[in-house]
Amino acid sequence: MIILKREMNRNMKALIIWTLVISGITILNLMMFPEVAEQQSAIDQLIKQMPESLIKAFGMDRLSMADPLGYYATKGYIMIILFGSIYAVMLAGNMLSKEHNEKTIEFILSKPITRSGIVTQKLLAVFINLLIFNLAITAANYLGFRMADAEFDMNIFLLLSVAPFLLHLVFASISFLLSSQMKKSRNIVSISLGLVFVMYFIDIMSSISGELENLKYVTPYEYVDAVEIVINKSINTTYLGIMAGVISLCALASYLIYRRRDIAV
Amino acid sequence: MAVIELQKLTKYYGKHRGIKNITFDIKEGEIFGFIGPNGAGKSTTIRTLLNFIYPSGGKAFIFGKDVVKDSLAIRRDIGYLPSEVYYYDDMRVSDLLRYSQAFYKKENSRKMKELADRLDLNLNKKIEDLSFGNKKKVGIIQAMLHEPKLLILDEPTGGLDPLIRNAFFELLKEENDRGATIFFSSHILSEVESMCSRVAIIKEGELIKVETIENLIREQFKKVTITFSSQKGKTFKIEGGKKPEWSGNTLQLLYRGEMKNMLQKLNEAEVKDLLIEEPSLDEVFMHYYEH
């Protein structure tokens, strides 16, 4: 696990910065909750003034901002799924390709380690970094709810913490798969960032417009939709299956592709 | 026993030629040179041996093991120095060397210090602050540190100054005395000459010849450029001279034979200027093609 150790060290700074920023924003967000809850009637008035599509896009038609989880699901959650996915693709996209970009891969490959060993350790590094990131944010969230003195259902809170982690793993595995074949980190990160944003756009579109509703099945944001999770008190099992499938297929394909790839710097 | 064995090894990059039907072998304890001009396929051959790239045809064995199937086992006993070394900029030299050793589960900081001293390399410097030559030294040390049975060195001397080059050759001799087989590529003939027992010559992806250094030197010729002070020089002729080319009063030829004879001849002529040099590899190859 020499490479894993090295990758943990190398990515620590980015992990700390991303964790601090995202959890800072969520805590700040939650600290505003008591005020929002107090002025609920005023805010309901305000929301009614907003365009209907905007209300739908954030699920505010189905959840009350006066409920702490409802508030979180419509406001803070988006930061974690969107910005967290950006972090995830940048982390995973650079994991293998950085060695190719900086031509250090010849050094690693001349050491007694198999290609699969390299992929395993790099994948583990992605997984562990994302796990720490999500655990830290969950802890910050919990702290935020406590500070806001809010009552909430712990099960739903945990579901809302696991779901973003799964989404991050989905995007990370796609990005990692790209890097098992492509050489330039820049292109890999561009493509996967594009995917993160396009999918988000599709998710918004499908929730606004009835005609585009079926589009929602192609975007992983739909699979971890906070409003659905709060209302149903569970994550849809079909969606769980799709996400697990995408993650394992991408990981498996990364092994197969990387093992057969010609590596010339 | 053959440490390295290539059997019709072939590599195509799509339709582009890499190497074609390369066959030779290297015995245990040999210092074996691999020469050819840039782009001839030296690095392609080496990368195939290390399984960085997969062969399109033929086979290769190291320590009797298949380079594709048993690559992991093979690499435990290999030290490799690439022609261009790239390391992690955020590391110090000692970090990199420790990282390298961790893969072999061997840590020998005394040898690390000793090698760094002999090559005049500061272990505490950051990799990103190193010059090309100094990075090469890091490469040499990481290739030797775990006392491999086989050293594969791709153009190892590029960027090294003459003093360090000598220290490096000394290290190679010691590794060889210890029992290590050494396979190194170069496009400088004289360098290979001083170190190797045998050489393989490659051009445009094809093996031209495997030759002992003795034979190579016996057949070796010099490129001689003579400028005469007058037209009288035009009568100059020498046995062993080949391909004479005149431009004005300047004669250029390839000479193979006793240097003494050449000097005597020159002494009799009115020589204004004289240049005796190693022929370029291309000229050496021309020679081999003619045979």
Confidence of residue B211 (pLDDT cuts 50, 70, 90): confident
Is residue B250 scored above 70 in pLDDT?
yes
The Cα A94–Cα A100 span in angstroms is 9
Look at A146 and A259; give whichever has higher pLDDT: A259
Q: Are residues B144 and B253 in the same domain?
A: no
Q: Give the tens place of pLDDT for each residue, A38-72.
A: 777 777 777 778 887 777 777 777 777 778 888 88
According to the model, what pLDDT value does residue B283 have?
67
Q: Are residues B200 and B272 in the same domain?
A: no
Q: Give the tens place of pLDDT for each residue, A173-212.
A: 999 999 999 988 889 999 999 999 999 999 888 888 777 7
The Cα B116–Cα B110 span in angstroms is 10
According to the model, what pLDDT value does residue B68 have?
95
Is residue B222 scored above 70 in pLDDT?
yes
Phi, psi of B285 (to 5 degrees): -65, -40
* Cβ neighbours around B277 below 10 Å, total: 9
Confidence of residue B266 (pLDDT cuts 50, 70, 90): confident
Confidence of residue B268 (pLDDT cuts 50, 70, 90): confident
Which three-class secondary structure state does DSSP give residue A141?
Answer: helix
CB pairs under 8 A between A and B: 60
Instruction: List the single residue in B47, B90, B102 with the smallest CB-CB distance to A264.
Output: B47
- Nearest Cα to Cα of residue B30 among B241, B204, B184, B227: B184
- Structural domain range at position B266: 220-290
pLDDT > 70 in chain B, percent: 95
Is residue B284 scored above 70 in pLDDT?
no
Q: Are residues B225 and B213 in the same domain?
A: no
Q: Are residues B225 and B198 in the same domain?
A: no
According to the model, what pLDDT value does residue B285 have?
61
Confidence of residue B280 (pLDDT cuts 50, 70, 90): low
Is residue B4 scored above 70 in pLDDT?
yes
Task: Assess A262–B contact: CB distance below 8 Å, yes or no.
Answer: yes
Site from A1, A102, A103, A106 to mutate, B interface, most B CB atoms within 10 angstroms: A106
CB contact under 8 A, B54 and A262: yes
Look at A116 and B211; give whichever has higher pLDDT: A116
Q: Which amino acid is at B257?
A: G
Q: Are residues B101 and B238 in the same domain?
A: no
Q: Which long-range contacts (C-beta less than 8 Å, at least 24 apart) are formed by A10-18?
A: A10/B90, A11/A91, A11/A125, A11/A129, A14/A87, A14/A90, A14/A91, A15/A129, A15/A132, A15/A133, A18/A83, A18/A87, A18/A133
Q: Are residues B162 and B108 in the same domain?
A: yes
When pLDDT is averaged across residues B85-114 and rounded to a whole number, the result is: 93
Q: Are residues B183 and B275 in the same domain?
A: no
Q: Which range in A207-211, B100-104, B222-226 is most confidently predicted, on average pLDDT? A: B100-104
Look at B203 and B74; give whichever has higher pLDDT: B74
Q: Are residues B138 and B242 in the same domain?
A: no
Least confident of A112-126, A172-186, B274-288: B274-288
Identify all chain B residues contacting A113, using CB atoms and an 8 Å cutoff: 72, 75, 103
Task: Assess B78–A contact: CB distance below 8 Å, yes or no.
Answer: yes
Identify all chain A residues contacting B99, using CB atoms and an 8 Å cutoff: 2, 6
> What is the CB-side half-sphere exposure of residue A67 using CA atoms within 13 A?
15
- Structural domain range at position A251: 2-260
Are A81 and A58 a contacting pair, CB within 8 Å?
no
- Nearest Cα to Cα of residue B149 among B200, B50, B76: B76
Are A194 and A187 a contacting pair, CB within 8 Å?
no
* Domain end call among B158, B183, B217: B217
Are B53 and B44 a contacting pair, CB within 8 Å?
yes
According to the model, what pLDDT value does residue A207 have?
81
Least confident of A153-157, A163-167, B211-215: B211-215
Task: Assess A110–B contact: CB distance below 8 Å, yes or no.
Answer: yes
Q: Are residues B274 and B228 in the same domain?
A: yes
Residue A204 lies in a domain: yes
Are B54 and A260 a contacting pair, CB within 8 Å?
yes
Instruction: List the single residue in B72, B85, B102 with the smallest CB-CB distance to A2.
Output: B102
Q: Give the tens place of pLDDT for each residue, A209-230.
A: 777 778 888 899 999 988 889 8
Confidence of residue B286 (pLDDT cuts 50, 70, 90): low
According to the model, what pLDDT value does residue A56 have?
75
Q: Give the tens place of pLDDT for each residue, B14-26.
A: 888 899 999 999 9
Residue A265 lies in a domain: no
Q: Are residues B181 and B280 in the same domain?
A: no
Q: Give the tens place of pLDDT for each residue, A2-12.
A: 999 999 999 99
The Cα B192–Cα B211 span in angstroms is 12
Residue A232 lies in a domain: yes
Tokens of A98: 């950085």
* Domain end call among B217, B239, B270: B217
Closest CA of chain A from B195, distance in Å: 24
The Cα A204–Cα A78 span in angstroms is 12
- We report the CATH number of the domain holding residue B232 as 3.30.70
Look at A56 and B127; give whichever has higher pLDDT: B127
ipTM: 0.85
Q: Average pLDDT over chain B, rounded to whole? A: 89
Closest CA of chain A from B83, distance in Å: 11
Is residue B76 scored above 80 in pLDDT?
yes
Task: Assess B72–A contact: CB distance below 8 Å, yes or no.
Answer: yes
Are A164 and A81 a contacting pair, CB within 8 Å?
yes
According to the model, what pLDDT value does residue B269 have?
85
Q: Give the tens place of pLDDT for each residue, A71-104.
A: 888 788 988 999 999 999 999 999 999 999 999 9
Q: Are residues B254 and B211 in the same domain?
A: no
Residue where the block lists tokens 């290390």: B50
Residue where the block lists tokens 């003195």: A149
Give the total number of structural domains in chain B.
Answer: 2
According to the model, what pLDDT value does residue B52 have?
95
The angle that helices A237-260 and A154-181 make with each other, rounded to 10 degrees, is 20
- CA terminus-to-terminus distance, chain A: 24
Confidence of residue A134 (pLDDT cuts 50, 70, 90): very high
When pLDDT is averaged across residues B164-181 and rounded to a whole number, the result is: 94
Give the total number of structural domains in chain A.
Answer: 1
When pLDDT is averaged across residues B208-217 and rounded to a whole number, the result is: 82
The strand pair at B271-277 and B222-228 is best described as antiparallel
* Domain end call among B217, B238, B267: B217
When pLDDT is averaged across residues B201-205 and rounded to a whole number, the result is: 89
- Nearest Cα to Cα of residue B206 among B26, B43, B41, B38: B41
| pTM beyond 0.90, yes or no | no
Q: Are residues B150 and B57 in the same domain?
A: yes
Q: Residue B227 forms beta bridges with which residues?
A: B250, B273
